């Protein structure tokens, strides 16, 4: 186990929940803010819920990942972000829930998570500084900073996501704690809706 991985308390059966505030910045400069909760169990199960409000509207974003399944509901504006859960990176908003099982050392002290994600570590602590990958042809980078201690493990209290070089999502976690007893039943991905032609009774 890598030094940073141990400090994070990462593990296939480890469960964590973090909550705080999130702010999305749209390409035109409009912002939406709200309360965020991230729950992760191991590297393959994640739930991200954001209840946001603005002077003119309220809404909710939720992404649930379980194994290879992923279900996302939310306002159209949030579709401009890469999915906040699932995929080869696991539950990347919590550094301990990155898929460390794929970690491979790379040049310059970096770590590769599979073939598509580069993880940069702090040389002194071994804790993640950033994770980078590509989404829809754009460079995506998550910056981890403001590490704090809770429940005997370290966690990044500040997360910034950049898409195409522009800051799009800023998160400040104000609460973090290990969660015992989590399981697959806490991360159920609903089945996909029936195809449109089936809903019309098979009409062509």
Q: pLDDT by residue (tens digit) across 128-175? A: 899 888 888 889 999 999 999 998 899 999 999 999 999 999 999 999
Distance, CA of 77 to CA of 130 (rounded, Å):
25
Distance, CA of 88 to CA of 66 (rounded, Å):
12
Predicted local confidence at residue 41, as pLDDT: 92
> Model pTM?
0.84
Q: Which helix (H) or strand (E) holds 103?
A: strand 103-105
Does residue 170 lie in a domain region?
yes
Tell the residue number behind the tokens 């976690």, with chain if given: 173
Whether 35 shows a pLDDT value over 90: the answer reads: yes
Q: Which domain holds residue 174?
A: 15-189
Does residue 3 lie in a domain region?
no
* CATH number of 128's domain: 2.50.20.10
- CB count within 10 Å of CB 32 equals 20
Does residue 9 lie in a domain region?
no
Q: Which residue has the higher pLDDT, 58 or 141?
A: 141
Tally of domains in the chain: 1
Does residue 8 lie in a domain region?
no
């Amino acid at each position: 186990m890598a030094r940073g991985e141990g400090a994070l308390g990462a593990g296939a059966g480890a469960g964590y929940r973090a909550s705080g505030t999130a702010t999305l910045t749209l390409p035109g400069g409009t912002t939406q803010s709200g309360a965020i909760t991230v729950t992760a169990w191991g590297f393959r199960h994640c739930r991200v819920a954001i209840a946001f409000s603005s002077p003119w509207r309220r809404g909710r974003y939720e992404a649930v990942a379980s194994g290879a399944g992923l279900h996302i509901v939310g306002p159209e504006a949030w579709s401009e972000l890469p999915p906040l859960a699932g995929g080869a990176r696991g539950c990347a908003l919590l550094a301990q829930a990155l898929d460390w099982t794929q970690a491979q050392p790379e040049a310059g002290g970096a770590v590769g998570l599979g073939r598509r994600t580069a993880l940069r570590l702090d040389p002194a602590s071994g804790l993640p500084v950033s994770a980078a990958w590509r989404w829809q042809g754009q460079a995506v980078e998550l910056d981890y900073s403001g590490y704090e201690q809770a429940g005997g493990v370290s966690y990044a209290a500040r997360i910034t996501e950049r898409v195409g070089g522009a800051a799009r999502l800023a998160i400040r976690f104000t609460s973090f704690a290990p969660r015992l007893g989590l399981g697959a039943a806490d991360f159920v991905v609903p089945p996909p809706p029936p195809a449109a032609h089936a809903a019309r009774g098979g009409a062509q």
